[in-house]
Structure 1
Amino acid sequence: MNYIEILMRTVLSVGLLLLIPRILGKQTLSNMTSNDFVISITLGSLAANLAFNVSLKSTYLVLSIIVITAMSFLLSFIALKSRRLRSWISGSPTVLIEGGKIMEANMRKIHYTLDSLVQALREKEIFNLEEVEYAVLEDNGQVSVLKKEAYQFVTKQDLGLALHAQAFPVELIMDGVLVEANLKRNGLTREWLETELGKKQQGKTLADVFYAVKGTQQQLVFDFYEDGVGQPLDQE
């Protein structure tokens, strides 16, 4: 009976963990703040106990998970409505480099080491500190960098080249399956796609296509099951 109970509790635990991000929203996953980190650790501990700790009643643990989730949702709502409370709940960005100068006092205040700063800059492909105008430690622990103008990449606008509007890519075939909803939403048909495929690759049919996308410049890109690569580099 213990095995059956653990199985049922584990399924319930995983189900709750899959449901919670849908309730709290995508920002919790993409921009995890200190508040989100604490909530995640607590929920993970409760879910683990729910899965295998049969000495604790599952109803108690489920209640705790529901309460923690409700508290997280409430804190997120308060942070959304109040800028003053938002900085207390989620934290606020800290300037690490200003005007090319390292802000030692700010770093000491948040216990951020120079090694961590140098590593964060290297991860941004910056190996020379003199390239940096501003560096900011965000709420989620990531470092945002603004390079000095002399080290910034040149854009088409800087060169005076013609600029063209870009569209959002539309996936037409995924894993060999035609995405009918995307075709319909964009006023396209299967027959049109077959015609365009014939223009690009003679002798190929939709059944040969693994992935197809209409790109940012309205161009069609096809990837086939048979790539014609004799010896893939990763093959061992």
Structure 2
Amino acid sequence: MRPDIGLFPAVLRHWRVRRGWSQLDLALHANVSARHVSFLETGRAQPSRDMVLRLGETFDLSLRDRNAMLRAAGFEHAFAEPAFDGGLPPPLAQAIERMSAQQEPYPLMVLNRQYDVLRVNESAGRLFGLFLAHTAPVSPGGLNLVKLMFEPYIAQHVLVDWERTAREAISRIHRELLARPNDAGLAALLQSLLAHPHVPKEWRQPDLSTPSEPIVVFRLRHGDTELAFLTTITVFQAPQNVLLDEIVIESYFPFDDRTAAFCTDLARA
């Protein structure tokens, strides 16, 4: 006997309304009858495990949210939720290690979807040490990359064109939160950024009229030297556990010869 599934109808309706669909819309997308959708939402019918997974796929939910929907229906989770340390399958852990090594002498960081830094390569560690020298001591593993942009010393002395960079970061999080409205960690991150004293009130509302830039160039200042990095993002295709679904690998490539030479010289120091 499965546990009480009284929560499932509310979860189902939440995601349907969040998508802006009627019950008929959901039925058409999921290839089930509108009558069955109605019965599931009212609790008159109990979903099978396969039906819950089908609905989660139809809503294009994250694997974490699909697990939550399964639990709401009284089933065990379908996707493992391992921790980052020791939780990666060995071949993928080795792949990340190789990517980190091959990226040298340029930075690479592994982040979660809330921009917490999980791992850095040696180049990123050197840059953190260089630019965080005048801030409170903190290890790369205790950093949040976006929050770091709003740290007073970084904002005033390290980031070139802080307002543009900060606004792009907030706009990016607004868009991600629209796609993942139940991500409490991402919502809390956004609220903490919007509470920053230098954030204008108009940034509080998402501005979707401006398209995302096809490339992101990150500019830093070290003394009289300006560094520019082109950022690329890698995610795992068709992940089968929550950890792989949520981690992001950010690689930073020199945007000009001066930046390339600076990173090479820093590695040799």
TM value normalised by structure 2: 0.24
> Greater CA radius of gyration, 1 or 2?
1
